Structure 1
Amino acid sequence: MLAKLFTLIERGWPVPLIGDGTNHFQMISVFDCVSAIEAALDHDVPDDVFNLGSIDPPTVRELLGDVISRAGSRSRLAPLPAGPVKGALTLLDALGLPLLYAEQFKIADESYLVDITRTISALKWRPRYDDVDMVTAAYADFRRRNAAA
């Protein structure tokens, strides 16, 4: 999914949003995952479940708008009505012509947030990376890999 998004941004093409983009989709950096594991080991935390995620994630519209801006792209966000788009994507998926995985487009206009308050308290841990920085870094890596290919 990110490769498709990054290709649109790289080419300066419109970036479609399923819905109006006012939803939030919380992410977590692999580096923050590792530091949370280290914190759990350091604090000898018993077997337990901890939510991991960024702090104060932006809306999808803000996130993608900032990534486009940082990339210096001419891309513009193109919000599309969620119902018809999901219907079309479901049909394409059924025909064996998927543009996105069903797991992706079915939740694309919903907020996905976890509460990390207990994790911060129990592990004395905080994520270092925010969502815009993570996606911008992934885009930069995408550009480097494409340039080397």
Structure 2
Amino acid sequence: MKQLLVTGGAGFIGSNFIEYMLDHQSYQITNIDAFTYAANEEYIKKFNEVPHYRLIKGDISKEDELERALDRQYDAIINFAAESHVDRSINRADQFYESNIKGTLNLLYAVLEKKANRLIQISTDEVYGSLDKFTAPFTEKSPLKPNNPYSASKAGADLLVRSFVQTYKLPLIITRCSNNYGPQQNKEKFIPKVITNAMKGEPIPLYGDGMNIRDWIHVSDHCRAVHFVLERGVPGEVYNIGGHEERTNIDVIKAILKYLRKDEALIEYVDDRKGHDRRYSIDFTKINTELGWEPKVQFEEGIIETIKWYQNQGQLGGNDG
């Protein structure tokens, strides 16, 4: 059985990826997570019953804590671990650089020291910066132009990965994905905040004019894409992962309010976020043509599933994080 080290596996995307892999593949999975505010401890408890899964509480930016997980030879490291909330990075960026850059560097050293055969760096479309309404989507050849401290830290990590490919010829791959959504996402993120505020009848803050555009992808499609890269990806390459589901923020809110039968008067326009990117759009032709992946979940279907999950959490009195 192949050994897989998943970092940040208690977070939204990482935990979904572990569930996907346990359901579909025969890997021995080690999950290392620092258990910050964004971790979902309740959700990952069910993995403890799986014999080929283990959990290590540790911060990958701290070498001694990471070392606890490096007690075996891994076929691959999948690096989901990251501080990712833009507003938090604007208020204070220190932790973003500790986790996103120093943590990635420690993992690169682990591969260099042959504790893992390869690494897949999970990045973001935000490293490319912003597009206007009529510009073609980002490709893997687009320059990195991050506009906030979070995306700058991810771009810095990507450049570190590239440097280790060029300098040491290590088998490393970068994936850059558009905005994820789905069940179990932390309530500070855009879609969960809209859903939970609407359910409670509370105001829904909307930055600026609400016309900022994001390309949305269901988390299950992202997990499948990472699996495709793990099994078929070419070392040294970058793969963009998109949903082909561009929506303005105001349209996403209105769709959620319509489904919940809530009044649009709940929308509360607030001052725009500093450095707020206008539009993200991903061209995923490369991963489609070279690896055979494409998204399956349409936004209209995925958003209803997501809303129902949060409704169920509210009925159960559960944690929506």
Above 0.5 in TM-score?
Answer: yes
Question: Is 1:19–1:79's contact at 8 Å kept on the other side of the alignment?
Answer: no
User: For residues 249 and 206 of structure 2, what CA distance do their matches in structure 1 show?
Assistant: 8
Cα drift, residue 132 of structure 1: 4.3
Q: Aligned runs of 1:116-127 on 2, under 5 Å? A: 116-127=284-295
Contact 1:26 1:131 in 2 (8 A): no
Task: Tell me the secondary structure at the aligned position of residue 112 of structure 1.
Answer: coil
- Alignment partner for residue 46 of structure 1, among 234, 246, 254? 234
Rate the CA distance shift 1:57–1:107 in 2: closer, same or farther, 3 A: farther
User: How far does the alpha carbon of each residue in 1:42-65 deviate from its partner, in whole angstroms, 9 at most, with x for none?
Assistant: 5x3312221112113121111221
1:21-100 aligned at under 5 Å gives the runs 21-40=210-229, 44-47=232-235, 48-76=237-265, 78=267, 80=269, 85-86=271-272
The 3 A distance-change label for structure 1 pair 108 and 75 is: farther
Q: Match of 2:216, SS?
A: coil
- After TM superposition, give the deviation of residue 109 of structure 1 in Å: 6.1
Q: In the TM superposition, what is the alpha-carbon distance from 1:18 to its structure 2 partner?
A: 0.6
Counterpart secondary structure, 2:282: coil
Structure 1 residues without counterparts, runs of 5 or longer: 87-104
Per-residue displacement from partner, 1:16-57 (whole Å, max 9, x unpaired)?
311222221123222112221333355x33122211121131
In the alignment, what sits opposite 2:297? Answer: 129
Name the stretch that deviates more: 72-81 or 11-20. 72-81
> One-letter code of the match for 1:35?
R
Question: Residues 26 and 106 (structure 1 numbering): CA distance in 2 closer, same or farther, change over 3 Å?
Answer: farther
Count of aligned residue pairs for this structure pair: 127
Residue by residue, what CA displacement relative to the aligned partner does 1:67-116 show, whole Å, maximum 9, x if unpaired? 211222234463636xxx24xxxxxxxxxxxxxxxxxx446562222222
Gaps of 5+ in 2: 1-187
Please, which of 103, 113, 132 is the counterpart of residue 281 of structure 2? 113
- Secondary structure at 1:26 match in 2: strand
Question: How far apart, in 2, do the equivalents of 1:135 and 1:106 lie?
Answer: 27
TM-score under structure 2 normalisation?
Answer: 0.35
Distance 1:8 1:140 in 2: 14
> What amino acid maps onto 1:55 in structure 2?
H
Which structure has the larger Rg? Answer: 2
Deviation at 1:145, TM superposition (A): 1.0
Relative contact order: is structure 1 or structure 2 higher (C-alpha 8 Å, sep ≥ 6)? 1
TM-score (norm 1): 0.68
Percent identical residues: 22
Query: How far apart, in 2, do the equivalents of 1:55 and 1:109 lie?
Result: 18
CA distance in 2, matches of 1:34, 1:53: 12
Question: For 1:123 and 1:137, how far apart are their aligned partners in 2?
Answer: 28
Structure 2 letter corresponding to 1:10: M
- Aligned position for 2:34: none
8 Å Cα contact 2:288-2:294 kept in structure 1: yes
Question: RMSD in angstroms over aligned alpha carbons?
Answer: 2.6
Q: Is the 8 A contact 2:213 2:249 kept in 1?
A: yes
Distance, in Å, in 1 between the alignment partners of 2:266 and 2:238 is 37
